[in-house]
Amino acid sequence: MKHLSTRFKCTALAALAVMSLASCSSSSKDNGDGFRVAYIARAQSDSFAAWLANEMKAEAGKYQDIKLDIFDGQASDDVENTQIENAVANNYDAIIVQANNNEAQLPYIQRSVDAGIVTITTNPRVDGVNGASSIDANPYDQGAIVAKVALDRIPQNAKVVVLNGPPGNFHSTNRRNAWKTEFFDKRPDVTILDENTANWNKDEAMKLMEDWSLAHPHIDAIVSMNDNMASGALEAIKGRNGFDGIQAYGVDGTPEATMLIEQGTMTATALQNAQELAKLNMKAAHDLLTGAETTVDLKVGNPLITKDNAGEYIDLYKGAGLIK
């Protein structure tokens, strides 16, 4: 398992090697050489964000008139906001933003729209921006489809821990709302031993789980708002007595999580298909830039992944080169 986890980490880091952290030099709008598109990615430490950034690069390569530059937001509102400002100042034809915190990025995204730049928010969408397009999933549905599986699998009078994404993040908030409505409200017998924010980050989740496992010698399940945090929590208790058979739930359907599910280490997740998101984002950017569309508002699906069908998704990831 350690080998698989390390191999996935290397793949994700290699995927993110395409990211440029430097500011771009100023240039004019499309001059016949094609459209310049900036993608502001949330964080290279997030395995799903790494996957999506890699797919964005691959999909952009299919358009001869698009040049895509990818920037790493480093899970920092300040960094992301500065990168959006720089992209506006450097006259990009389109800017695609994967927000770290919706409220924090909203005014900067609005400035992009107000500057006449094609602007798309994705994973998550940012509501309240006038004139922006969006490509996203429905985070409530993502959380709900996994929570409904847990209704029958988490045992009576279970004790669980909960890992949340960044405060104010549209996906984290709505996935957690789904768990409340679809699971915790229906299972009052279940006790939440501890709950905290790990910011989608695997290392932060590991640290929290290390502390929780010392404070609570028995935990029945890990409820996580994404796969990256769930896998970190599982890594923290790997091989430790008293945690055999612990259940773990996430969202994203990352290659690592899918392998963990196939092996029986993780219980369930909902796929957020980075390939589909990237395809729709690049098509939307191209359609908006060429005038084929004026606004785009699309959502991708969220199929459930369990041990019963994990093999299908592993084949998908092998075909994409994400699992060797």
Residues 235-276: tens digit of each pLDDT: 999 988 889 899 999 999 999 999 999 999 999 999 999 999
SS3 259: helix
Q: Are 258 and 313 in contact (CB under 8 A)?
A: yes
212 compared with 102, residue with greater pLDDT: 212
SS3 309: coil
Give 270's strand partners: 304
Neighbours of 32 (CB within 10 A): 5
Q: Which residue has the tokens 């990237």?
A: 278
Distance CA 164, CA 247 (A): 17
Q: Are 164 and 195 in contact (CB under 8 A)?
A: yes
Distance CA 106, CA 38 (A): 17
State the pLDDT confidence band at 11, using cuts at 50, 70 and 90: very low
Lowest mean pLDDT among 1-10, 184-193, 238-247, 308-317: 1-10
pLDDT beyond 90 at 64: yes
Q: What is the pLDDT of residues 216-238, one digit of tens each?
A: 999 999 999 999 999 999 999 99
With 0-12 / 13-18 / 19 or more C-beta atoms within 10 angstroms meaning exposed / middle / buried, residue 153 is: middle
- Which domains are delineated in the chain? 13-135+273-299 (3.40.50.2300), 139-270 (3.40.50.2300)
Nearest to 58 by CA among 50, 91, 98: 50
Distance CA 56, CA 277 (A): 8
Distance CA 123, CA 281 (A): 10
Distance CA 48, CA 27 (A): 31
Percent of the chain past pLDDT 70, that is, above it, reads 90
Distance CA 132, CA 127 (A): 9
